């Protein structure tokens, strides 16, 4: 049976559909927050610069940093097809640290060690022997400066070392719950191994009591007075910055036990030598 629609009714239906389309468009633009969208563009085929365009937020986003199938702590683009030995990994991480700290000093960006790297510094100012990456914080303004000056740049360090600063294309989305696959803001990557420094930015906020906080996209929150002013320290022979109250920062993140537990991941801390020594079995350390 063929349904006949009069010209008058057809006009009403068209108007109704148009109104519905306008309503959907209005709801989309109203409900979704407006953000500055980055567009990655190549500069002379070498440096990547983030430009911004106005537009609604599309989320969630795909993971920006691709990881190697060998390890979640290796960048898939530069990792070798075989695992690095423990001594190779340790030596590479030390060079990674030195190159990162030196470069950040050269470009004038303030950064400080965080998370597992800060915990390792607390024990003996050495990288944990089981560690696969390094962690640092930078303030949000510092991250913005890195985007402008250094994103995609490759830096030489030492005789053969080459390292790249790679800023996540979705750094403008600061809510890690909305964008869980991109909670790391940038990485300093060893092009020879795929090992990297995780860089996360913190920005100022207030809690319910009005106390100043520093908040990262990955959900970590610090009282501003526990972090600032930063203090100078030495880590693997290079001068770094650490939070003002390291014990409180680490205790809040890992619990007090992490500051005194001397057996972990198959290693025991030797007080006299101030070193982590491998033990036969790590069954009691998990």
Instruction: Write out pLDDT tens, residues 247-284.
Output: 999 999 999 999 999 999 999 999 999 999 999 654 43
Residues 64/182, Cβ–Cβ less than 8 Å: yes
Give the pLDDT band (50/70/90) at residue 59: low
Q: Residue 154 above 50 pLDDT?
A: yes
Query: What CA–CA distances, in Å, run from 61 to 49, 73, 121?
Result: 19, 21, 34
Element containing residue 33 per DSSP (H, E): none
Q: Which residues of 245-254 are buried (b: 16+ CB within 10 A; e: fewer)?
A: bbeebbeebb
Q: Is 238 helix (H, G, I), strand (E, B) or coil?
A: strand
Residue 64 is given by DSSP the state S
**pLDDT for the residue numbered 101:** 98
Residue 206 is encoded by which pair of tokens?
Answer: 């207030």
**pLDDT for the residue numbered 4:** 52
Q: Where are the alpha helices (DSSP H) in the chain?
A: 7-31, 86-107, 115-124, 140-149, 224-227, 246-254
Distance, CA of 229 to CA of 192 (rounded, Å): 35
Distance, CA of 108 to CA of 122 (rounded, Å): 26
Residues 213/195, Cβ–Cβ less than 8 Å: no
Residue 248 is encoded by which pair of tokens?
Answer: 């409180």
Q: What is the mean pLDDT of residues 133-142?
A: 97
**pLDDT for the residue numbered 56:** 42
Give the pLDDT band (50/70/90) at residue 70: confident
pLDDT per position as a tens digit, 209-254? 778 999 999 889 999 999 999 999 999 999 999 999 999 999 999 9
Question: What pTM did the predictor assign?
Answer: 0.77
Mean pLDDT computed over every residue of the chain: 81
**pLDDT for the residue numbered 44:** 33
Q: What is the mean pLDDT of residues 10-30?
A: 41
Q: What is the mean pLDDT of residues 153-167?
A: 94
Q: What is the mean pLDDT of residues 194-209?
A: 90
Give the pLDDT band (50/70/90) at residue 35: very low
In the chain, the domains with their CATH numbers are 35-52+62-245 (3.30.460), 255-286 (no CATH)
């Amino acid at each position: 049976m063929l349904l006949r629609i009069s010209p008058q009714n057809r006009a009403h239906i068209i108007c109704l559909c148009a109104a519905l389309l306008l309503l959907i468009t209005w709801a989309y633009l109203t409900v979704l927050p407006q953000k500055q969208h980055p567009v990655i563009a190549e500069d002379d085929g070498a440096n990547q610069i983030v430009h911004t365009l106005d537009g609604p937020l599309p989320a969630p986003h795909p993971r920006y940093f691709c990881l190697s199938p060998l390890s979640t702590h290796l960048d898939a683009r530069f990792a070798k097809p075989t695992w690095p030995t423990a001594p190779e990994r340790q030596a590479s991480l030390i060079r990674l640290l030195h190159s990162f700290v030196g470069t950040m000093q050269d470009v004038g960006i303030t950064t400080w060690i965080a998370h597992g790297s800060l915990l390792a510094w607390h024990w003996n100012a050495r990288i944990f022997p089981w560690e696969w990456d390094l962690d640092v914080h930078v303030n949000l303004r510092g991250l913005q400066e890195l985007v402008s000056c250094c994103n995609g740049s490759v830096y030489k360090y030492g005789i053969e070392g080459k390292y790249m600063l790679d800023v996540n294309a979705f750094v403008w989305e600061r809510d890690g719950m909305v964008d869980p696959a991109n909670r790391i803001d940038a990485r300093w990557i060893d092009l020879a191994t795929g090992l990297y420094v995780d860089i996360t930015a913190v920005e100022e906020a207030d809690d319910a009591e009005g106390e100043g906080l520093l908040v990262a996209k990955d959900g970590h929150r610090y009282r501003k007075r526990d972090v600032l002013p930063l203090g100078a320290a030495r880590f693997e022979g290079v001068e770094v910055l650490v939070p003002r109250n390291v014990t409180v920062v680490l205790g809040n993140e890992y619990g007090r036990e992490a500051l005194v537990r001397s057996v972990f991941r198959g290693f025991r801390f030797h007080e006299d030598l101030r070193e982590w020594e491998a033990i036969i079995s790590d069954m009691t350390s998990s």
